[in-house]
Structure 1
Amino acid sequence: MQIGYARTSTTDQEAGLEAQERDLTAAGCAKLFAERVSSVAKRARLDAALDFVREGDTLTVTKPDRLARSVSDLLAIVARLEAKGVALRVLSMGGAEVDTRTPTGRLMLTMLGAVAEFERALILERQREGIAKAKAEGRYKGRAPTAQAKRPDVVKLIAEGVRPTEIAKRLGIGRASVYRVLAGTKDQATAA
């Protein structure tokens, strides 16, 4: 049985996820596992797919970077699959496919994983350089603090008697952020 796995990093990439699902279905995948999560976060649907596959199955992905965050991560996933007697198939390789059932396929997958990891490192390096340049020019402000923007909501919910853990859940912020907002509110009150 062919099982497909699709992943995008953000909800803004809905079209990318749909394209992956379409390609995996066209490739013959009978079951799909899809998620919207960064590769560095816990990937619950990937874990579910890896638990689901059985001996003789093939886990299929469109590209290696949809599956793994690094070469070592990729090789660990391949080792986990091989221990279960499961092959890995990668579709989008410039018209060619990579299949880990062959020695050539395993070699190609390792090389492609290394190239993808190198490409990601270059992107991060360019991003850091851009941020450093923007800071030097006084144009970089960083990410807007999410919790501080929700200060009025936090204060309102506290006044209603809602506990900080519940506030964090309702507003989609961390519990520590709720406490920081509250501490900032108390500081402002004592300064006035």
Structure 2
Amino acid sequence: MIIGYARVSSTSQSLDIQHEALAAAGAEKVFSEKVSGRSTTDREQLALAMSFAREGDTLIVTRLDRLARSVGDLHRIIEVLTQKGVGFKCLNQPGVDTDTSTGRLMLAMLAAVASFEADIRHERQMEGVRKAQAAGKYRGRPASIDPSKIKELKAGGMGAAAIAKAMGIGRASVYRALAA
């Protein structure tokens, strides 16, 4: 059986193009989700696709970055599929096919390049943040909890639950602020 997996990063993006390509490639069942690919955690549909796949099946994706954005995640996914006897193919990178040694080599090289690109993008983003901070244009997220206010309310006789309700925060946050 050919199993498709489609993913986009945000709810405003459409899965239609990936669904069409997977169907045209013969996918009999498609798992899809709208979630970040930065990590494989919290990717429920990917987990379902991998558990659904049986020996002799092939998992297909349109592009490698739809499956994983890091070399480590990609290797873990491929290892699980390989142990189950499930093949993997990437439609837009036809050389990526785990059924051949050349395909496995190509997969490793493309994964390394994708990981490198993600790292470079993150470095540029952090560089921009540092530059904006130096110019006084970026201060990060404001602190949502004022520990001194919490301690003041506690000293005034309020309990943790009442403080949490008054400040719109969780009770655990109150306890952490009091312990600090």
- Same fold, TM-score > 0.5, yes or no: yes
Question: Percent identity at matched positions?
Answer: 51
Gaps of 5+ in 1: 148-162, 164-176, 184-192
Letter paired with 1:59: L
Q: How many residues align?
A: 151
* 1:3 aligned partner: 3
* Structure 1 residue 38, shift from structure 2 partner: 1.6
**In structure 2, which of residues 123, 136, 153 is the aligned counterpart of residue 138 of structure 1?**
136
**In structure 1, which of residues 168, 174, 178 is the aligned counterpart of residue 169 of structure 2?**
178
* 2:27 aligned partner: 29
* 1:81-125 Cα distance to aligned partner (Å, 9 max, x none): 1111110001112xx342110000000000000000000000000
* 2:82 aligned partner: 82
Q: What pairs with 1:96-135 in structure 2 (closer than 5 Å)?
A: 96-135=94-133
For the residues of structure 2 that align with 1:144 and 1:11, how far apart are their CA atoms?
A: 26
* Structure 1 residue 178, shift from structure 2 partner: 3.4
For the residues of structure 2 that align with 1:111 and 1:56, how far apart are their CA atoms?
A: 25
Which protein is richer in helix relative to its size?
A: 1
Gaps of 5+ in 2: 146-160, 162-167, 175-180
- CA distance change for structure 1 residues 59 and 146 in 2, over 3 Å: closer, same or farther? farther
* 2:72 aligned partner: 72
* Structure 1 residue 145, shift from structure 2 partner: 8.0
* Structure 1 residue 71, shift from structure 2 partner: 1.1
For the residues of structure 2 that align with 1:86 and 1:61, how far apart are their CA atoms?
A: 14
Q: SS at 1:33's partner residue?
A: strand
Letter paired with 1:76: R
For the residues of structure 2 that align with 1:54 and 1:19, how far apart are their CA atoms?
A: 26
- CA distance change for structure 1 residues 131 and 33 in 2, over 3 Å: closer, same or farther? same
| Runs of 4+ off more than 4 Å | 143-147
* 2:18 aligned partner: 20
TM-score by length of 1: 0.71
* Structure 1 residue 7, shift from structure 2 partner: 1.1
Q: SS at 1:104's partner residue?
A: helix
Q: Which moved more, 1:97-106 or 1:111-120?
A: 97-106
For the residues of structure 2 that align with 1:143 and 1:89, how far apart are their CA atoms?
A: 41
Letter paired with 1:9: S
TM-score by length of 2: 0.75
* 1:54-87 Cα distance to aligned partner (Å, 9 max, x none): 1111000111211123112111111111111110
